[in-house]
Amino acid sequence: MRMPRSLILGSLLTMVFAGGALLSFIWTPYDIETLAIPQRLQTPTGAHWLGTDQLGRDIVSMIMMGARTSIAVALLAVGIGICLGVPLGLVAAARRGSMLDEVIMRGNDLIFAFPSLVIAILITAVFGAGATNAIIAIGIFNIPVFARVTRGAALSFWSRDFILAARVAGKSPARISVEHILPNIANLLIVQSTIQFSLGILAVAALSYIGLGAQPPTASWGRMLADAQTLASIAPHVALVPGLAIVFTVLGLNLMGDGLRDLLDPRIRVART
Amino acid sequence: MIRYMIGRVTSLCLSLVVASMVIFTVVEIVPGDPAAYMLGVNARPDTIAALRTELGLDLPTAQRYVAWVTGMLQGDFGTSYTYRTPVSQMVADRIAVSLPLALLALAITVVIAFPAGIYAASHRGRTGDLGVMGATQLGIAVPNFWFAMILVLIFAIKLRWVSAGGFPGWDAGLFKGLKALILPAFALALPQAAILTRVMRSSLLDMLNEDFIRTARAKGLSRRQALWRHAVRNALIPVLTIIGLQFSFLLAGGIVIEQVFFLPGMGRLIFQAISSRDLIVVESVVMLLIASVIIVNFAVDLAYAAVDPRLRTGA
CB count within 10 Å of CB B18 equals 17
CA separation for the pair B192, B195 (Å, rounded) = 5
Interface of A with B (CB under 8 A): 106, 109-110, 113-115, 117-119, 121-123, 125-127, 198, 202, 205-206, 209-210, 225, 228-229, 232-233, 236, 239-240, 242-243, 246-248, 250-251, 254-255
Hey, what amino acid is at A139? G
Higher pLDDT residue, B139 or A262? B139
Report the residue from B27, B140, B143 with minimal CB separation from A243: B143
Mean pLDDT of B246-275: 85
| Helix ranges restricted to H, B219-278 | 223-226, 232-261, 266-275
Residue-level pLDDT at B196:
94
Residue-level pLDDT at A47:
72
User: Quick check: B98 and B265 in contact, CB under 8 A?
Assistant: yes
Question: Given a cut of 80, is residue A37 above it in pLDDT?
Answer: no
Host H or E run for residue B88: helix B87-122
What contacts B170, CB < 8 A, 6 or more positions away?
A: B96, B177
A239/B11 touch (CB, cutoff 8 Å), yes or no:
no
Q: Within chain B, which residue ranges are assigned CATH 1.10.3720.10?
A: 88-313
B5 min Cα distance to partner chain A (Å): 17
Mean pLDDT of B168-188: 87
* Sign of CA pseudo-dihedral B69, B75, B78, B80: positive
pTM of this structure: 0.86
Least confident of A13-17, A118-122, B213-217: A118-122
CA separation for the pair B176, B158 (Å, rounded) = 20
Phi, psi of B79 (to 5 degrees): -120, 130
Question: Given a cut of 70, is residue A30 above it in pLDDT?
Answer: yes
Q: What percent of chain B has pLDDT over 90?
A: 22
Higher pLDDT residue, B36 or B79? B79
CA separation for the pair A32, A1 (Å, rounded) = 45
Phi, psi of A58 (to 5 degrees): -70, 125
Question: Given a cut of 60, is residue B315 above it in pLDDT?
Answer: no
At residue A193 the predicted structure's pLDDT band, cuts being 50, 70 and 90, is very high
Residue-level pLDDT at B31:
63
A236/B153 touch (CB, cutoff 8 Å), yes or no:
yes
Of A140, A194, A229, A256, which to mutate for an interface test with B (greatest number of B Cβ within 10 Å)?
A: A229
CA separation for the pair A96, A112 (Å, rounded) = 20
Closest Cα in chain B to A231 = B153
CA separation for the pair B229, B225 (Å, rounded) = 6
Residue-level pLDDT at B195:
92
Number of residues in chain B: 315
Higher pLDDT residue, A106 or A8? A8
Report the residue from B31, B255, B297 with minimal CB separation from A121: B255
- The answer, for B88 touching chain A at a CB cutoff of 8 Å, is no
At residue B156 the predicted structure's pLDDT band, cuts being 50, 70 and 90, is confident
A206/B251 touch (CB, cutoff 8 Å), yes or no:
no
CA separation for the pair A237, A44 (Å, rounded) = 8
Residues forming a β-bridge with A58: A52
- Which chain A residues touch B289 with a CB distance below 8 Å? 115, 118
At residue A269 the predicted structure's pLDDT band, cuts being 50, 70 and 90, is very low
CA separation for the pair A77, A195 (Å, rounded) = 12
Of A121, A136, A230, A231, which to mutate for an interface test with B (greatest number of B Cβ within 10 Å)?
A: A121
Higher pLDDT residue, A193 or B237? A193
- The answer, for B157 touching chain A at a CB cutoff of 8 Å, is yes
A106/B11 touch (CB, cutoff 8 Å), yes or no:
yes
B141/A254 touch (CB, cutoff 8 Å), yes or no:
yes
Residue-level pLDDT at B314:
47
B140/A250 touch (CB, cutoff 8 Å), yes or no:
yes
The ipTM estimated for the assembled molecules is 0.85
Question: Given a cut of 50, is residue B30 above it in pLDDT?
Answer: yes
- The answer, for B271 touching chain A at a CB cutoff of 8 Å, is yes
**Closest Cα partner for B117 from B125, B126, B129?**
B129
At residue B237 the predicted structure's pLDDT band, cuts being 50, 70 and 90, is confident
- Mean per-residue pLDDT over chain B, rounded: 84
Of B146, B205, B248, B263, which to mutate for an interface test with A (greatest number of A Cβ within 10 Å)?
A: B146
Q: What percent of chain A has pLDDT over 70?
A: 95
At residue A17 the predicted structure's pLDDT band, cuts being 50, 70 and 90, is very high
For residue A246, give the 3-state DSSP assignment: helix
A232/B249 touch (CB, cutoff 8 Å), yes or no:
no
- Which chain B residues touch A123 with a CB distance below 8 Å? 26
| Helix ranges restricted to H, chain A | 5-26, 59-94, 99-113, 116-127, 131-158, 161-168, 173-176, 182-209, 221-229, 236-264, 266-272
Phi, psi of B267 (to 5 degrees): -60, -45
A251/B137 touch (CB, cutoff 8 Å), yes or no:
yes
Least confident of A137-141, A161-165, B211-215, B235-239: B235-239
A210 min Cα distance to partner chain B (Å): 7
Higher pLDDT residue, A201 or B8? A201
Residues forming a β-bridge with B79: B86
CATH code for the part of the protein at B88-313? 1.10.3720.10
